[in-house]
Amino acid sequence: MLKFTESVDLIRTYICDYGNSLFHRSISKAVSDSSSANTPFPQLPVIVSRQLEYPHPKYPPLQAWLETLGQKKDEKLGILDLHPSIWHVPPRLDILHDNVEWQKTYKKIDWTYTPMLHEYPSMRKKPWPQKGTGKARAKNRWSPTWKGGYIPHGPKGPTSFFYVLPRHQRVMGLCTALTVKLHQNDIHFVDSLDLPTHEPSYLQELSEDRFWGPSILFVDDTDVMPHNIMFASAKTEGFTLMPVYGLNVYSILKHTTVVLTLRALNKIEKKLLHNLHSYDTQQEQPPPPEDP
Amino acid sequence: MSVLRFLKKVPFFTPPVFGRSLTSSYIYRSDVSETTPDTATKPITDLPDEYANANFIQSYESTHQGWEWVDNILFKSIIPDPPDHATPSGWVPRNLELAKQWSYFVDRDRFHSYGLYVKILPVMLEYWLHEQHTYYLNIFRRRVEYDMYAQRMRRFSLLELISGDIWKLDEDLKDYLTKRVKETNDQTKELPILSQVDEIRQHILIDGEYEEWIADFLKEKGF
């Protein structure tokens, strides 16, 4: 039977790793060691220490609550350390604007097309003789001055507005969006997206109690989501499920609140820090090794 | 024949010759024969039997030794940590104890260098818009502004990666640069030193080329 301090140290060492399913096992172990065995979560909040790569020279890690979706009552599971290079970045509004404009524009294709004179019907007869009639001189029926005539220098064919924003701007856009959300209290960290029921009313009431906005973006590690949250968010307008690879500045700003799981947070931090501190060229460079 | 070549008079200036030529100087070597070998001219069937039954490479042995030589050539995306001491190129490591006391902080980029850049912009001497010669061109159906008569190119020094009290940094930087300018009595540098502070982009733009002095300022502060 472990003492309380020893169990806390054990939990701390477990979560020094990338807090995966080990987290639940460690919590249940702490629970079994402590007296109360019926409650699914421990009574006291547990300090969760995360090892951060590339520590910032000046700013210490930020802290945020770790919450649950497993019960309606808002009980905090612990405190998370957040990397200041991602979560404490100066609010670059110009980069946010660039990212949002890019996301809107790069998919745009302008399909307008005005045919040239040679693409019009092939009747090239002079409507009336040059002189004699009191009418204005006319060479062909589809002159630009005539009704139904061709448009000179008009739009020609599908034009694409595709361009790719530089990698650094996209990375800083994500960092800025996340800092802005954090400092406006619109980000919440959650251990996982497991719900007790598939009823949408459970999630709706939970979000109303906790004052989570009308639109919520749930971000998880992989694109395979638990069944319950899938059914709950499908029926609710404004609740979006998203894997980490789909995270973008427009969605972060569009949804009022953003709910990240611990696994998603680890993955996002790892990827963003790798992009901020490495030299990946445009050649086919293998991506950093991912955890299974 | 080779001896004659060695004694032949060579002019004082020999133009560069690519490839071998008859007039080029030749150092006599005993181990290399002048005539072309038979293996280069004769077909393999005319060669003696020793050449035909030569033992070429038939097998190989794989080892794990010498990987360091291969690893040295491979491209790596991870940037190594810098040394703790100053290097002969003038690079100086960060002094965090000194840097933490100021109300502002200038970070370094991923290559451990300052965010100091030169910005060169074409500038018109005309102030009024209707006097400027700006033309619009249609390139791929997009309007592109083209400055045909930019009279001069203006050089700015740009300092990025700033956080904290940016106005205090601007003050300190300008004081330092004016002090430096007065010491050197350089005619190209003009006083007062003009700067532009962009709070949203968190950078300072200084009119003129002061990169080295700004680097000295940052080294003094310990950034």
A35 assigned to some structural domain: no
Of A24-33, A164-173, B27-36, B202-211, least confident by mean pLDDT is: A24-33
pLDDT tens-digit map of A224-265: 999 999 999 998 999 999 999 999 999 999 999 999 999 999
Q: What are the chain A neighbours of B96 within 8 Å (beta carbons)?
A: 57-58
Distance (Å, whole) CA A45 – CA A191: 13
CA distance A4 to A10: 10
In a domain, A44, yes or no: no
- Helix (H, G, I), strand (E, B), or coil: what is residue B38? helix
Q: How many residues does chain B have?
A: 223
Q: Are residues A246 and A183 in the same domain?
A: yes
Residues of chain B with Cβ-Cβ distance to A287 below 8 Å are none
Give yes or no for A276 touching B (CB within 8 A): yes
Q: List the pLDDT tens digit at each of the 223 positions of chain B.
A: 444 444 445 445 545 545 454 444 556 666 766 778 777 888 877 888 777 666 777 888 888 888 888 878 877 888 889 999 999 999 999 999 999 999 999 999 999 999 999 988 777 666 666 766 666 555 555 555 555 555 667 889 999 999 999 999 999 999 999 999 999 887 777 889 999 999 999 999 999 889 899 999 999 999 9
For B104, the closest chain A residue by CA position comes to A58
Read off the amino acid at residue A253.
L
pLDDT at residue A23 in the model: 43
Total domains in chain A come to 2
pLDDT at B64: 80
Q: Which of A57, A92, A276 shows the shortest C-beta gap to B200?
A: A92
- Using alpha carbons, list the distances in angstroms from residue B128 to A279, B17, B38, B69: 45, 60, 82, 63
Q: In what order do the strands lie in the sheet with A257-261?
A: A46-47, A78-82, A62-67, A187-190, A257-261, A216-220, A239-243
Binary contact (B110, A279; C-beta < 8 A): yes
Mean pLDDT computed over A21-42: 44
pLDDT for A50 equals: 85
Residue A127 shares a structural domain with residue A190 = no
Domain check: are A232 and A270 in the same one? yes
pLDDT of residue A122: 78
Q: Considering A160, A175, A193, which residue would you say is the last residue of a domain? A: A160
pLDDT at A2: 44
Residue A92 is nearest to which of B94, B141, B201, comparing CB atoms?
B201
Helices (H) and strands (E) in chain B, counts: 7, 8
Residues A136 and A274 in one domain: no
Tell me the average pLDDT of chain A. Answer: 84
Same domain, A186 and A243: yes
**How far is the C-alpha of A240 from the C-alpha of A233, rounded, in Å?**
7
pLDDT score recorded for residue A280: 78
Residue A86 · residue A266 · CB < 8 Å: no
Judge if A81 and A170 occupy the same domain: yes
- Give yes or no for A159 touching B (CB within 8 A): yes
Judge whether A75 lies within some domain: yes
With 0.80 as the threshold, say if the pTM is over it: no
Q: Are residues A94 and A129 in the same domain?
A: no
Residues A138 and A213 in one domain: no
Inside any domain, residue A33: no
Q: What is the mean pLDDT of residues A92-106?
A: 96
The parent domain of residue A148 ranges over 109-160
Token pair, residue A14, equals 């477990």
The residues pairing with B125 across neighbouring beta strands, listed in sequence order, are none
| CATH class of the domain at B96-132+142-221 | alpha beta
The reply to whether A123 and A241 lie within a common domain is no
Do residues B189 and B151 make contact, with C-beta atoms less than 8 angstroms apart?
no
**Does one domain contain both A156 and A262?**
no
Please tell me whether residues A90 and A234 are part of one structural domain: yes
Residue whose token pair is 């003789």: A129
Secondary structure (H, E, C), A25-85:
HHHHHHHHHCCCCCCCCCCCCEECCCCCCCCCCCCCCEEEEEECCCCCCCCCCEEEEECHH
**Share above pLDDT 90 across residues of chain A, in percent, rounded to a whole number:** 68
Same domain for A134 and A271?
no
Domain ranges of chain B: 96-132+142-221
Tokens of A279: 């030299």
User: Could you tell me which residues are beta bridge partners of residue A79?
Assistant: A47, A65
Among the residue ranges A175-179, A217-221, A232-236, the one predicted with the least confidence is A232-236
Residue A209 reports pLDDT greater than 60: yes
